[in-house]
Chain A
Amino acid sequence: MSVLEFCRTVQYSAPLVAMRASPWLFPVIATIHLMGLALIGGAVLVVDLRLLGLGLRNQPVAALAHDAERWLFRGLAVMVSTGLLLFMCFATKYYFLTFFWVKMAALILVVIFTLSVRRRIAMANDADVSPVRCKLVALVSLFLWTTVAVGGRYIGFP
């Protein structure tokens, strides 16, 4: 089964047909998706601003990163679960949108980057990491998250 066929099967399965038939279900799920955006935004910014030498710069990065990570994961859980539903609703439409695939690629990249490089840098002792590397990590993280968000907004436009 090709990816497109899979999209079609999902989109026209009974639960998704029922979801599209409801005039308010999609908007409500999209709203929860937006709240997830806010949560991820806050959790990412607290750490990335700190890595850039802004925000809570009197605090050690590791402690902030440890605290923020829990809310980042919660935000991601909200985003991914609602995002899956939104995708399945119009899967064949998104399949043909370049921005959708750009967003998915950026999302996978940023999750891998966050769990590997960014986590190692953020959890390290502040003295062990050069400020330039911290800033670079923060910029890459912010760039990738922005790509995810911009892609997300684009695929929603008519």
Chain B
Amino acid sequence: MFLGVLMIHVLTVSVFVGTAVMIDLRLLGRTMTHVPASQVIARLLPWSEAGFVVMVVTGTLLFYASPLARYENMFFRMKMAALVLALLNAWLFRRTAYRRVAEWDLDPVPPRRVRMTGAVSLALLATIITTGRMMAYSAYWFG
């Protein structure tokens, strides 16, 4: 049962992070440069969000399998911090640069600020994957 939930949690990385990465790469001007950025976001974000819901549901189940051990796990705390920062990054983007998306929508390479959002998002997603994987090795790193 635990392993089944863990499997769904890990494999949904490909949906949640996968589609988010493609959006970030568009914001960086590294892929689908002929597609308006707003279209990439509008058409792929729902899939990323659906993946995110699965991640949160399975993640919550995994957390409650042993809540104290998870809470005390330093990598778990780092992962949650990175998750909050990633959401904050997306929220800030929505509140700022995305409001003026019409100005850079067709740019193959969006303005610097937008590229920063994509780069920060990629870094935080990598952090979430890394800390998530390292949770199994917390005892080694932090005694």
Q: Which residues of A contact B (CB under 8 A)?
A: 23-24, 27, 30-31, 34-35, 37-46, 49, 55-59, 63-64, 67-68, 70-71, 145-146, 149-150, 153-154, 157
Contacts and interface: CB of A to CB of B under 8 A. Distances in A.
The A contact surface, by secondary structure, is: helix
Given A35-B129, A56-B35, A41 B44 contact: no
* Max chain B C-beta neighbours (<10 A), residue from A45, A68, A70: A45
A41 B13 contact: yes
27 contacts: A24-B137, A24-B140, A34-B10, A34-B129, A35-B129, A37-B13, A37-B18, A39-B18, A39-B21, A41-B15, A41-B19, A42-B17, A42-B20, A44-B14, A45-B14, A46-B44, A49-B47, A56-B40, A56-B44, A64-B35, A68-B32, A70-B31, A71-B31, A146-B11, A149-B14, A153-B10, A157-B3
Contact of A46 (B17, B22, B133): B22
B34 A63 contact: yes
Interface residues of B, number: 35
A42 B18 contact: yes
Contacts, number: 104
Contacts of A150: 7, 11
